[in-house]
Chains A and B, each alone.
Chain A
Amino acid sequence: MMFDAIVIGGGVMGCSTALHLARGGMHVAIVDRGPLCREASGVNAGTLTLHMTRAALVPYAMRAWQMWMNADKWLGMGVLAKQAPGLTLAFTEAECALVELRAKARREQGAPIEVITAERARQIEPGLHPGLLKAGYCEIDGFASAYLTGRAFGHALKLAGVDVIENAPVEAIDSNDAGHVVRFAGGREPLHAKRVVLAGGVWIEPMLAWLGVDIPIKVLVNQLIVTERIRPVMRTVLSVANGLLSLKQFANGTVLIGGGWQGEGDRERGGVEARPQNLVGNMRLAAYAVPALAEARIARIWLGLEAETADALPIIGDVPGVDNAYVIGSAHSGYTSGPYMGRIMAQHILGQTPDLPLFEPARLVGLPMPGV
């Protein structure tokens, strides 16, 4: 039995790709070594902000924002996505310059971001630190509960007739003119497909290696902190000009603190542990931005792996040198744009012209990772 496509990797990129391929008429399987959306897609901060999205990805993020807000309609089940104004904060003169720079770059890409005074920012968000100097403001930001993503996509994929194969680690892909054979660890029967889509996030690097392609993917080990339920202390999605804070309060009162502070871990072991000085730094920044958070008690700290390419732009398109093989992922803040990126990947695979340009994987071949 030959699938039209097998998607390897069940995060938001893979799930969205598989869903759109199935709705486009293909017979699809999606496989993951664990349950769907349990890696980055299930443990990220759920921030849907244009402030922290790379400027070049703003058009994608804006379209994905619509998809997240309307998930009930196209996905069938939501992830509690909520619109909230987004503020990116500047506490020093250097940060003020950064706010202006970042706002301008994103405006050029179509993001409705304006720079506002501290007074106006405090009208929007009264609980901000009195030392605020300036802020970037975007009306159409928001957040979702990432941990609900797997359940939502699981439903939609099964309804669309996708074979969802969880807890099935792939160990090799044999490719030839007829198609691909996806081989599993542990003696499970291999699957055959005309096309294969690699959607493995930080594991795209070893996946590409199965196909003989060498593209380095950097692994970021992001720390996340969530508080217990507290009284309402904020109503916006907050970030800081340097990009190193994400802060939001959910309807249930818990506050999620992120921003990409690094912990210990790697691709092989996953997230291992938080770095104490980075926990302290992240918490200080959060409690500085919203002083009322100082009293909040932390319920849980965890880690998530985020992928980054050598030029910090996504890898979406044809696997270089291999027929009928595609790759999608490694977008900084990929959860934000994920549903839309999966859609345009599927458009490409279905032979249609994607609504927005893809991100040619071939450009990354031979491009060294900065700092290595």
Chain B
Amino acid sequence: MPPQPVDVLVIGAGPAGARAALRAQACGLDVLLVDENHDAGGQVWRPIPPSFERAPGGATSPEARDGDTLRAELRRAGVRCLFGHKLWNVGTSLRADLIGPEVSVSWQPRALIVATGTTERVVPFPGWTLPGVIGLAAATILLKSQNMLPGRRTLVAGAGPLLLAVATGILKAGGEVVAVLDLASQGDWLRTLPSLASRPDLLWQGLQWQARLRAAGVPMLYRHGIQSVKAVGVGFEIRTQRVDASGQPVAHAAAPVLAADAVTVGHGLVPGTDVTRLLRARHRYAVELGGWIADADADGRTSVAGLYIAGDGAGIAGAAAAGAHGELAALACAHDLGRLDATTHARERARLQSSWRTSARFGHAMAGLMALRDGAVAGIAPDTVVCRCEDVTRAEIDAAAHDGARDMNQLKAWTRCGMGPCQGRSCGDVAGALLALHVGSREAAGCFTGRAPLRPVSLAEVAGDYTYADIPIPKAAPL
């Protein structure tokens, strides 16, 4: 079946993608918004399961309200949405191949807006792969979408704004927080205060969260991280460690040993570049924005014609900025497709850029708190698994580098790091940082080459139903 035509295909229905789709539609473009989840909202405004309802009279968080509002807007505007579909391939023509619950479909857009957000980074430590050790973003999804605690007594650790959000979320849901370990210092947090000048609501929320934790007697351990986690009975023993400003463990510094039945840990968010790497867009490394990102202008135009990026996937700037960014990308797209005159574009653009700048100030400050710290990478013990899919340790990565592996793809070929079904999403950023220690810089180490499928898909899902006669056999090989 030939691909179905559409003006703009938006990938990802989080704040950036949904706003991009709404704006593109408002500009008169034919739009399709796709997401693998069952509804819009992305990670930050994740919908609750379809059969759940918000409790009447229950306090709805601002995020839940924002998410519900966005979903309602999409429905009101009649934006065509394809939910529950997994994007597995994009061709150089921007043709998008998707697999749904029943069938596979292809769409041929004139322009593609990629708003796929981020994945979470966890700097490995012994025990990080144990069941019951989950990401901070995972804990957020459990709490907010599945309405579930990660455990009865949970240790919260890592870096960035998710720490407080998850810790207080656990308390609000009736769970216990054993402690919060933060790689940052109180000084690091205080330095973000100026960015909150335009967001008194968020400042207020942050102060409330801290107060709540204090009231509950939850120890806040700044400049602390996890040294190791060991399974003990039905729970965990966690050895903590003091760290310096670079995240490097401080030798011989006393640090508590804690007990918990769940550990939630996260060291920042990494922009998703699966699609832009697949399409061979030019990328740059920006540690303060989360890592590798497609090189793009302020409106999200990449080095590939017709390919736009928006939201945290273009560089972490937060949910509020993501919406403005999505609209900017949609406007640029509409203009580039000849459906928006220059004057209107300039006017709307100026307004949105101003809005983006205001929102991004806070988002960037938070991104700074969760940027990958060199010392944390240096401190990874040699026997620690780095590539979860293939059980590749730091020692094996270092050995390959010593043997002459100079870039991520050579590292992958020699160690299998990145060859598993997660396709390098869980390990790529940390593996890149480890290789960079040998080759001098992240730029020198590079990225895994983007490959289809963007997510694992089965032969049956791609091949469909067929008989032998249906197989288009080309000319036989030479004798």
Contact = CB atoms under 8 A, between A and B. Distances in A.
22 contacts: A102-B479, A148-B414, A151-B413, A154-B403, A155-B403, A228-B420, A228-B456, A229-B420, A242-B477, A243-B476, A278-B474, A281-B474, A283-B459, A283-B463, A284-B466, A288-B471, A298-B459, A298-B462, A299-B419, A299-B453, A301-B451, A301-B453
Contact of B451 (A55, A227, A300, A332): A300
Interface stretch (B12-20, B89-97, B142-150): B89-97
A200 interface: no
A188 B409 CA distance: 24
Contacts of B400: 151
Interface in B440-454: 449, 451-453
B460 A35 contact: no
B466 to A, nearest CB: 5
A273 B91 contact: yes
A274 B89 CA distance: 10
Contact of B479 (A105, A262, A285, A287): A105
Contact of A287 (B421, B423, B449, B459): B459
Given A284-B471, A287-B460, A299-B419, 18 more contacts: A42-B413, A54-B479, A147-B413, A150-B413, A229-B420, A242-B477, A260-B477, A264-B92, A273-B452, A277-B472, A284-B463, A284-B466, A286-B459, A294-B458, A295-B460, A296-B458, A300-B453, A332-B477
Contacts of B460: 287, 294-295
A167 B444 CA distance: 12
A301 B451 CA distance: 6
Interface string A165-189: 0110000000000000000000000
A74 to B, nearest CB: 20
Nearest to B88: A298
A294 B459 contact: yes
Could you say which interface size class chain A belongs to? 35 or more
B192 interface: no
B472 A301 contact: no
B106 interface: yes
A166 B410 CA distance: 13
A104 to B, nearest CB: 10
Interface in A186-229: 226-229
Contact of B421 (A102, A244, A299): A299
A15 interface: no
A276 B403 CA distance: 37
Nearest to A269: B280
A337 B443 CA distance: 37
B471 A285 contact: yes
Given A228-B456, A280-B463, A283-B459, A302 B477 contact: no
The 7 closest A-B pairs by CB, nearest first: A243-B477, A297-B456, A147-B413, A294-B460, A242-B476, A312-B478, A228-B421
Nearest to B90: A273
A55 B413 contact: no
A281 B459 contact: no
A322 interface: no
Interface residues of B, number: 44
B478 A295 contact: no
A226 B459 CA distance: 11
Contacts of A105: 479
Contacts of B403: 151, 154-155
A302 B419 CA distance: 12
Interface in A44-99: 52, 54-55, 91-92, 98
B470 interface: yes
Interface in B67-110: 89, 91-92, 95, 97, 106
A137 interface: no
Contacts of A116: none
Contacts of B413: 38, 42, 147-148, 150-151
A54 B478 contact: yes
A147 B416 CA distance: 10
A358 interface: no
B49 interface: no
Contacts of B470: 284
A101 interface: yes
Contacts of A131: 468
Contact of B423 (A101, A147, A280, A299): A299
B53 to A, nearest CB: 35
Contacts of A35: 406-407, 410
Contacts of B456: 228, 297-299
A274 B452 contact: yes
A265 B287 CA distance: 33
Contacts of A147: 413-414
B468 A273 contact: no
A293 interface: yes
A272 interface: yes
B476 A98 contact: yes
B473 interface: yes
B457 interface: yes
A179 B479 CA distance: 39
Contacts of B464: 280
A288 B479 CA distance: 23
Contacts of B219: none
A121 to B, nearest CB: 17
B206 interface: no
A52 B479 CA distance: 8
B28 interface: no
Contacts of A2: none
A288 B477 CA distance: 19
